[in-house]
Amino acid sequence: MKTKHLILIILSTFTWLGLQAQTKMVFIKGGTFVPLYGTDSLPVKINDLYMDVYPVTNMQYLAFVKQHQKWQKNKVLRIFADQNYLMGWLNDTTLANNMNRMSPVTNISWYAAKAYCDCLDKRLPTVDEWEYVGMANDSIPDARLLKNYNTYILAWYEKPRSYKNTIGSTFKNYYGVYDMHGLVWEWTSDFNSILISGESRKDVDNDKNLFCGSGAVGANDLMDYAAFMRYALRGSLKANYAMRNLGFRCVSDVK
Amino acid sequence: MKTTIKILSLLFIFLIISSCSTDNQLVENDIYTCPMQCEGDKTYSSPGHCPVCEMNLTQPVAKVLYDETDLLSENSIFNLTSKWQTQNKETITLKDLKGKPLVVVMIYTTCKAACPRLVADVRNIEKTLIAEDIKDVKYIFVSIDPETDTPEQLKAFAVENVMDDENHVFLHGSVDDVREFSNVLAVKYKEISPLDFSHSNIISVFNPGGELINQVEGLGMDQTATINAIKSITTH
């Protein structure tokens, strides 16, 4: 009888810890690649890391704000999140009836996403890390030159309201990561390293008065239109913006 | 069986408590008013619609003139809790800068192109203000290159630029905190190579309560707006 109890305790503890750890993570073998926007088209080195298999869901974020009042819809400070933050939630701790608990959480600011990852002892991926994992299709780590890979992503850009879909509803990529494309856009830790100004006319002549050294940082392959869209979005964001098709996932370093 | 349940619940409670660090409670500011003032000065404690005209209730815009209380505005940079080191190796939080208008720029000391011009722009602003007898302003230089710009390096830079006094504060922070701070200023930057960064050149003005009241982007720009912004909060 005693052993039975013990097993019960251990089992339930593990189940609970499993919930606590929330999202499964997978190992991403590091390497080098040339990002669309880099420095003089030089390869960037990516260290080994773990990445969340799915974007953070409404349900997970709800559990987070229940513990951290500071990040509740009506309590968050404006400097950390604009008025669109958690738009649609009924109140501080209730999702709207029509919201899918297993959809990616959106209308999230950068500060909020960062706080969530910090809380779990994780962090947001860098732009380079995200792009490194995002260039994989279901079978190879770098599918950027494949026509159907780019067509798939561009077709998603035209689909409305994909943020309402359930996590895991898009393809599983080479690393075992889901939903890098086809569900929501995602925050990155250094999104503000994208020096594209809002106005395309300024982009073309590399306005040196706005950006010191901007001539050195430019697009590597403009054919990669899908990636260009992601960089353009990052370039237009501010950290307290909350958008309904912008979510996030976390990563952690390999210690 | 009862003991099992007890043990289980104890375990659960322990796990819940140990799961995440607790929040510091921040100042709340839950006042909403009707933009049309249908019911006069009446305020509401939660967002929603005005019962009379049904317009969305809004939160009153923070006054530009600084209110000498301890309450921080929601938009104040003093809500950031990051720790910084000055050129004199003092550890401070941004809140320690409260009480004076702040002129803030982000630089790195090994910068050859834009930063010297940005520093020159700040110097010109200071000159103009001093000529008008406005001396109670702090000039904050935040380094975007924490690795190179140690407090010692910042000290040397301050001395070299004849800015090593209490009105000029050079800040060194962690990579993460610098990234967060740049986000508050909407400054963008990227490391091009060690010792060289690409970054946007923005001069920001904060009121003594830490609210951003003006930004001018670009080098060698007309800084009249910056100067007027500071004047608006120093002359009563």
Q: What amino acid is encoded at A239 in this protein?
A: A
Q: Which pLDDT does position A194 carry in this prediction? A: 75
* pLDDT for the residue numbered A48: 97
> Is the ipTM reported for this complex over the cut 0.95?
no
pLDDT at A1: 53
Burial classification of residue B117, based on how many CB atoms lie within 10 Å of its CB (0-12 exposed, 13-18 middle, 19 or more buried): middle
B126-153 exposure pattern, b = at least 16 Cβ within 10 A, e = fewer: bebbeeeebeebbbbbbbbbbeebbbeb
From B194's Cα to the closest Cα of chain A, the distance in A is 12
Chain B contacts in chain A segment 229-248 (CB below 8 A): 235, 238-240
Summarised one tens digit per residue, pLDDT across range A145-197 is 888 888 898 889 888 889 999 999 999 999 999 999 999 999 999 988 877 54
C-beta atoms surrounding A38 within 10 Å: 21
Interface test with B, best of A74, A199, A211 (most B CBs within 10 A): A211
For the four alpha carbons of B164, B167, B168 and B173, in that order, the dihedral sign comes to positive
Looking at the complex, report in whole angstroms how far the Cα of residue A155 sits from the nearest Cα belonging to chain B: 30
Q: Which residue has the higher pLDDT, A209 or B136?
A: B136
A74, A119, A192: residue with CB nearest B183: A192
The owner of tokens 């992601």 is A230
> What span, in angstroms and rounded, lies between the C-alpha atoms of B56 and B34?
7
Backbone angles phi, psi at A39, to 5 degrees: -110, 110
Q: CA-to-CA distance for A204 and B111, rounded, in angstroms?
A: 24
**Reported pTM:** 0.74
Q: Chain B partners of A120 at a C-beta cutoff of 8 Å?
A: 20
**For B107, nearest residue in chain A (alpha carbons):** A212
| Whether residue B60 has pLDDT greater than 50 | yes
Please give the C-alpha separations between residue A250 and each of A131, A150, A201, in angstroms, as whole numbers.
14, 24, 35
pLDDT average, residue stretch B64-73: 59
Pick the residue of A192, A203, A253 with the most B CBs within 10 A to test the interface with B by mutation. A192
On average, the pLDDT of chain B sits at 80
- 8-state DSSP, A80: T
End-to-end CA distance of chain A: 41
B98: left (phi over 0), alpha (psi -120 to 50) or beta: beta
Q: How many angstroms separate the CA of residue B101 from the nearest CA in chain A? A: 18
- Site from B192, B193, B216 to mutate, A interface, most A CB atoms within 10 angstroms: B192
Q: d(Cα B108, Cα B119) in Å, to the nearest integer?
A: 11
In this predicted structure, what is the pLDDT of residue B38? 73
pLDDT value of position A103: 96
Contacts of B121 in chain A (CB under 8 A): none
Q: Sketch out chain A's domains with CATH numbers.
A: 33-253 (3.90.1580)
Q: What pLDDT score was predicted for residue A18? A: 44
- Surface-to-core class of residue B164, CB atoms within 10 Å of its CB (0-12 exposed, 13-18 middle, 19+ buried): middle
In the predicted structure, residue B162 carries a pLDDT above the cut 70: yes
Binding residues of B: 111, 115, 199
Per-residue pLDDT of chain A (255 residues; tens, 9 = 90+): 556 666 666 655 554 444 444 579 999 999 999 888 766 668 899 999 999 999 999 999 999 999 999 999 999 999 999 999 999 999 999 999 999 999 999 999 999 999 999 999 999 999 999 999 999 999 999 998 888 888 898 889 888 889 999 999 999 999 999 999 999 999 999 988 877 544 433 333 344 444 544 444 455 554 577 888 888 888 888 899 999 999 999 999 998
Q: CB A217 to CB B113 under 8 A? A: no
Of the partner residues A9, A74, A190, the one whose CB lies closest to the CB of residue B179: A190
List domains and CATH numbers for chain B: 26-60 (no CATH), 77-234 (3.40.30.10)
Confidence at residue A69, expressed as pLDDT on a 0 to 100 scale: 94
Query: Which pLDDT score is estimated for B4?
Result: 63
The Cα–Cα gap between B132 and B113 comes to 30
Phi, psi of B158 (to 5 degrees): -65, -45
Contact check, Cβ <8 Å, A13/B11: yes
pLDDT value at residue A118? 94
Whether residue A225 contacts residue A162, with contact meaning beta carbons closer than 8 Å, is answered with no
* Residues of chain B positioned with their CB less than 8 A from the CB of A41: none
Collect all residues of chain A within an 8 Å Cβ-Cβ radius of residue B3: 5
Indicate whether B63 pLDDT > 50: no
Distance CA A184, CA A230 (A): 11
Binding residues of B for Cu cation: 111, 115, 199
Torsion of Cα atoms, B91 then B96 then B102 then B105, to 10°? 20
Question: A61 near A250, Cβ under 8 Å?
Answer: no
Contact check, Cβ <8 Å, A9/B15: no
